[in-house]
Amino acid sequence: MPTDTNNNDNQTNKKLEDLQQNIEDSTGQVLTTNQGLKVNDDQNTLKAGERGPSLLEDFIFREKMTHFDHERIPERVVHARGAGAHGVFKLNEDLSEFTKAGFLTDTSRETPVFVRFSTVTGSRGSTDLARDARGFAVKFYTDEGNFDLVGNNIPVFFIQDSIKFPDLVHAIKPEQHNEIPQAASAHDTFWDYISNTPESAHMIMWIMSDRAIPRSYRMMEGFGVHSFRFVNAEGKSCFVKFHWKPLLGVHSVAWDEAQNISGKDPDYHRRDLWEAIESGNFPQWDFGVQIVPEEDEFKYEFDLLDATKLIPEELVPVRRIGTLTLNRNPDNYFAETEQVAFHTGHVVPGIDFSNDPLLHGRLFSYTDTQLKRLGGPNFHEIPINRSVNTVHNNQRDGHMRMQINQGKSAHGPNAMKGGCPFQAGMMDGGFTSYAAPVEGHKIRGRSKSFFDHFSQAKLFFNSQSEPEKNHLTDALCFELSKVETIAIRERMLYFLSQVDEGLAGEVAYCVGLHVPKALKTPLNQTKPADASDEEYAPVVKEGSLAKSAALSMKNSPTSDIRTRKIAVLAADGVNEDSIQAIKNALEAEGAICEVIAPRLGFIAGMNDATIPVAKTFMTAASVFYDAVYVPGGTNSVATLEAEPDAIHFLNEAFKHCKAIAFDDDALQAIKATYFGRKLPNDNSNETVLMEGIIMSRDASTLATKFIKAIGQHRFWEREKARKVPA
């Protein structure tokens, strides 16, 4: 007996000691809620039928998401680093056939907006140039209430069901044991998650592509991601996807360039947006919609409710209906950009939700997050979040209450105030939810139509140009080379082989492995504990569309050079006539020219003109510019030839495939570069010496060819051809 008692006491003391030290080791343990309840399915929200709406009674989802939403304070859990601007939205086409939303039916209106761009993964102090998705959130201050279109620069997402979101973010954030790496996906926990989540295949193609490192916020697309609903005045509904198309085209930077920018100016995108607006070069996007009639919900080989799928523009063209213009910078970053609170649930009459299970989780999560981050339920009273309408309801009190409500009643229905504030009827603009039919058993699961994970990933990859495919391959090689666990690399190689065998083979060569022909464990582990592997196995099929032109940035408009920054390399003795001629031609097209010299202040032209200097070689770098021009002038050219930073500037611009122009008498400086040695000794009046390298004696000819080259953005042909063993 004494022995048994001692054993029990020892066990009790051990448990108390573990509790006091907060020791937890989940190895070999069953997943539970915070209350110790064993969880059968942690991958699917509770729904009314497989394709039905998510149910509020899902206490497991709410506990998981509530904890996640409150994990960080005060910065946003995701999208912490951002930049914002004010602007206007002007409707060009009446959409009353599809929606009764006033700002989408009255072409005489200009709707005020506030837009916040952001990186997703990093903290507030991280770089703008991380390889990452970018947030593109727009708050429309309509006279029917605020409408928030909370989207990204990528039209799809990693996951299909919102209950998986905390796991995704935990995986991509810095690893738990050492808080490394910051704002980066190249580490084990992220790729461990991805390799076990095949529904992420399509998003991985996008996030590893050049789309993930945009040249500017002004030169990236935006997407609402989800299928929403339009509802017109007659109560008829259709599905809609939202798009933002930049008028300057869609452009990126090279990965090596992004890494350099991160070290030299981590505020690059913020600065670019601010300076463009301050200078009057207001960024603009066309607002577009893809509309799918209610009766066509099941017409396509993908499910409209699946956030990992897009609607190819070949099947449903984007209808451009209005223009967004950003024309005013914030007066105070914290009060506006940091305190702005977006929410997918901020809609107006005429816009409603589909049964997308990722969207339904966001409808809960956003309000919950703002309650924690902004300190209480009155965040809507912060000026940047206020509706242009005066708010009338029976909500009172709470942290930081600003609105002063008169009278003693705060309930409804009431007789004391004549029933006020009264409910608005539908004819008076009151919001009513679309009466979508709902049926089915309560179930944790998802429709079989969600199980095709690879056909659109293949579509995206096959739609890229060869340089874009090469960059995507390089990105995967870089990322997986950073993964230390070989089993994760092998799993990812098998994963990639489902998208493209050639892609998987190239990555396998780079990471020193072979592509597995099979896996020891099933590809899809995101299933209920008691479901079979076959029941939740991915559907393998080929899509009917081989390529989609809209998915390649090569097919984005590229002739517009407005706001492109051109570096002019010069020193004392430069030919001022050449500088002025090229500068006038470029600025007439909307480009921005900056003279870079060995010192600040002024340099002297060969005819004693005084030329202002914008930056020195010590503070400037080629990665901040879209193209380079070297004017003539014997002394200037000789100085540049002997200046290592000037030669490095040119070499780097060449490496990043940018347009380079120079006067024929500047060839001496160009010959000092590694690429200049390959140029022919041709001093004819007009010469394109190689892709994007232009020389001429005639300023007019040089300007014309240079402008055309800058409009092409990059000359990826300069990159080395692939030499990967078969």
Would you please indicate which residues are annotated as catalytic (active-site) residues?
79, 152
Cβ partners under 8 Å of residue 304, min gap 6: 227, 239, 292, 297, 311, 354
Q: Which two tokens stand for residue 11?
A: 């066990």
Cβ partners under 8 Å of residue 661, min gap 6: 582, 627, 628, 629, 630, 693, 694, 695, 702, 705, 706, 709
Q: Which two tokens stand for residue 325?
A: 């213009």
CA angle 99, 102, 105 (to 5 degrees): 60
How would DSSP label each residue in 702-723?
Answer: HHHHHHHHHHH---GGGSPPP-
Burial of 646 from C-beta contacts in 10 A (0-12 / 13-18 / 19+): buried
Measured CA distances, 67 to 79, 178, 342, 376, 379 (Å) = 18, 21, 19, 16, 20
Q: Which two tokens stand for residue 138?
A: 């727009």
CA angle 65, 113, 123 (to 5 degrees): 40
Residue type, 264: K
Q: How far apart are CA 705 and CA 661, in angstroms?
A: 9
Measured CA distances, 409 to 275, 405, 586 (Å) = 50, 10, 66
Q: Is the dihedral of CA 361, 363, 368, 374 positive or negative?
A: positive
Cβ partners under 8 Å of residue 635, min gap 6: 571, 572, 573, 574, 606
Cβ partners under 8 Å of residue 428, min gap 6: none
Q: Which residue has the tokens 């009155």?
A: 378
User: Residue 53 — φ and ψ, nearest 5°?
Assistant: -70, 155
CB atoms within 10 A of CB 406: 5
Q: What distance lies between CA 566 and its chain's CA centroid?
A: 26
CB atoms within 10 A of CB 255: 18
Q: Which residue has the tokens 């001629």?
A: 581
DSSP letter, residue 214? B
Query: What is the number of helices (H) and of strands (E) in the chain?
Result: 17, 21
Q: Which two tokens stand for residue 219?
A: 């030169």
CA angle 166, 170, 175 (to 5 degrees): 175
DSSP letter, residue 180? -
Residue type, 438: V
| 74-108 per-residue burial string, b: 16 or more CB within 10 A, e: under 16 | eebbbbbbbbbbbbbbbbeeebeebbbbbbbbeee
Measured CA distances, 297 to 169, 291, 301, 404 (Å) = 31, 11, 10, 47
Q: How far apart are CA 55 and CA 346, in angstroms?
A: 19
Residue type, 465: S
Q: Which two tokens stand for residue 247?
A: 């008028």
